[in-house]
């Protein structure tokens, strides 16, 4: 690469040679004009000094240019190709916008009441927290525009914002399918069956889903022996909880299902216990909403 810089320097010097030759010729012609000898000598000396200074300045500038070219060549020679674009990370804006819900799942935390069944070892209600994963299968069987609109509404956006987001998805899908970069509203509706002028959807079907989680330990009355009528206040160790979830908003979810636990006391065998569990909870998207859009 340094050889490249030197070659460019030689070319520039050769190209500049005629100009310097002309300047020297002018000085020589000046010496031939009729004038006093001393004046001619002074002018020639002054012209030679100016020519030498010009040559020095030009050489310094050419040296700087050659150094810049050399540095650029080295940089180009050592530059690594950019890495391929990776998978985009999930951002806070995606979470706030209901991105997880759009794909049919979410995470959350709820407060549960574990109620005794009419027949069983549990004698009273217990209370505790439950982190859970929720699934919303209805979102897997609808168009992208509808799921986007409902997810945006579920994630806390207003109707107009949700419509704008869904319209963007519809136009992008139309462009992908037809190649038209600026499709009309009629074309978008024909391709996606999404009405851009009057967007909207009934989203309640997507709000119904399933949940599964592992509740925290809780305490309640339970029968540890063979006599289920004789109960003691003891600790329940939940194994899992599962059931139905109704989640009309990221702020609010209703959970209903069963919780399987084990109870045991010192010196006695453990017993499995099934409780009826109901609870209220919120999803992870609420964190983004609390931080702010």
pLDDT at 286 over 50: yes
The alpha carbon dihedral of 177, 178, 184, 187 has a sign of: negative
245 and 253 Cβ atoms separated by less than 8 Å? yes
pLDDT number for residue 132: 95
pLDDT tens per residue across span 223-243: 887 766 778 888 999 999 999
pTM check: above 0.75: no
Report whether 125 contacts 115 (CB < 8 A): yes
How many CB atoms sit inside 10 A of residue 145's CB? 26
**Sign of the CA dihedral with 94 first, then 100, 102, and 108 last:** negative
pLDDT at 251: 80
Q: 114 and 218 in contact (C-beta within 8 Å)?
A: yes
Show the DSSP H helices in 179-264 as ranges. 185-192
Residue 98: band (very low, low, confident or very high) from pLDDT cuts 50, 70, 90:
low
Residue 136 — pLDDT band, cuts 50, 70, 90? very high
Which tokens belong to 277?
């569990």
């Amino acid at each position: 690469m340094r050889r490249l810089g030197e070659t460019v320097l030689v070319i520039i010097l050769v190209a500049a040679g005629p100009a310097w030759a002309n300047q020297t010729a002018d000085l020589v012609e000046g010496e031939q004009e009729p004038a006093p000898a001393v004046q001619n000598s002074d002018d020639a000396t002054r012209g030679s000094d100016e020519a030498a200074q010009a040559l020095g300045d030009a050489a310094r500038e050419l040296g700087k240019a050659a150094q810049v070219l050399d540095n650029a060549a080295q940089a180009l020679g050592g530059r690594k190709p950019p890495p391929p674009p990776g998978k985009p990370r999930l951002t806070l804006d995606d979470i706030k916008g209901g991105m997880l819900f759009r794909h049919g799942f979410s995470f959350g935390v709820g407060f549960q009441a574990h109620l005794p069944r009419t027949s069983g070892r549990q004698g009273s209600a217990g209370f505790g927290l439950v982190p859970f994963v929720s699934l919303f299968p209805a979102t897997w069987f609808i168009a992208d525009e509808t799921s986007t609109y409902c997810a945006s509404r579920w994630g806390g956006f207003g109707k107009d914002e949700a419509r704008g987001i869904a319209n963007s998805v519809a136009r992008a899908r139309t462009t992908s399918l037809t190649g038209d970069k600026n499709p009309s509203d009629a074309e978008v509706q024909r391709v996606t069956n999404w009405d851009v002028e009057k967007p909207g959807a009934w989203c309640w079907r997507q709000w119904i889903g399933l949940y599964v989680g592992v509740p925290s330990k809780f305490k309640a009355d339970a029968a540890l022996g063979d006599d289920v009528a004789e109960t003691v206040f003891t600790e329940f160790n939940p194994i899992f909880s599962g059931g139905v979830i109704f989640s009309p908003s990221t702020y609010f979810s209703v959970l209903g299902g069963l919780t399987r636990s084990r109870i045991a006391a010192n010196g006695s065998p453990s017993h499995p216990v099934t409780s009826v569990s109901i609870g209220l909870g919120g999803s992870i998207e609420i964190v983004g909403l609390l931080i702010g859009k």
